[in-house]
Amino acid sequence: MTEGVEVGMDDVSVASAPVSRPRVSGDREQELLEAAIEVLREVGYDRLTFDAVAAAARASKATLYRRWPHKSDLVIDALALFIGCPADQDPDTGSLRGDLIAQACAVGGLDDEAVMQTWSALLPVIHREPEMARGIHERFIAPKLKAARAVFESARSRGELGPDADLDTLVMILPAMSVHETLLSGRRPGPDRIADFVDTVVLPACAATVTDPASHG
């Protein structure tokens, strides 16, 4: 159930003087966002409350409300914790296989327990809350897919993909399989399973995009 904003006399007086409102920034904001992710992973989005996040962060609920009017705002901002991490960097191993596994198994990647548990907690929400879905896509999914796409673009330049390969489809295979396995098993795939996905599904799909000169002979 989505929480409403609780307003008391102190909140009214604060709202009337915006300049004097305490602000949350820097390390303290980071702590609040980390607490939100922790609670989300433990109880899911529907049971996440400002009370629970405030308790986890040892903060007042009023502090959270002043910065994030609704819990959806808090959760969407918290997703930024997973952006710009090692999994979003170019591994540059020299091969598509090496890059895919290195990226997926880096901090913030498909083998990161925090990422996968957070994603699992959010999946039920995006089907019923369009605004939340848009925020999740913009703040979390799109940056991750952009980082993954860069790996495929490098592979195409090395000739591991055909020039007309559908990168939008190829880039979705590994995360789709990894997330699906997490939902079915209740745990993240792990490096060995990710390597299996790459070897048995992703790489064969990529190889199929490369034109075999012998077929035109």
Q: List the one residue out of 68, 62, 74 whose CA is nearest residue 33.
A: 74
The architecture (CATH level 2) of 19-79 comes to Orthogonal Bundle (1.10)
Q: Is 19-79's fold the same as 86-211's?
A: no
Is residue 113 scored above 80 in pLDDT? yes
d(CA 161, CA 169): 13
Work out the angle at residue 96's Cα, subtended by the Cα atoms of residues 169 and 173, and round it to the nearest 5 degrees: 25
Is residue 153 scored above 70 in pLDDT? yes
Phi, psi of 17, rounded to the nearest 5 degrees: -130, 75
* pLDDT-derived band at 187, boundaries 50, 70, 90: confident
Q: What is the DSSP string of 61-95?
A: HHHHHHH-SSHHHHHHHHGGGGSSSGGGS----SS
What is the 8-class DSSP label of residue 6?
P
Whole-prediction pTM value? 0.80
d(CA 139, CA 49): 21
Is residue 214 scored above 70 in pLDDT? no
Q: Name which residue leads in pLDDT, 119 or 1.
A: 119
Domain boundaries, the chain: 19-79, 86-211
Q: List the one residue out of 30, 34, 204, 196 whose CA is nearest residue 111.
A: 196
> What per-residue confidence (pLDDT) applies to 127?
87
> What per-residue confidence (pLDDT) applies to 183?
86
| pLDDT tens digits, one per residue of 8-45 | 433 433 333 333 333 455 688 999 999 999 999 999 99
CATH code linked to domain 86-211? 1.10.357.10
Average pLDDT, the chain: 86
Work out the angle at residue 183's Cα, subtended by the Cα atoms of residues 179 and 189, and round it to the nearest 5 degrees: 55
d(CA 57, CA 74): 13
Mean local confidence (pLDDT), 57-77: 93
Tell the burial category of 103 from Cβ atoms under 10 Å away from its Cβ (0-12, 13-18, 19+).
Answer: buried
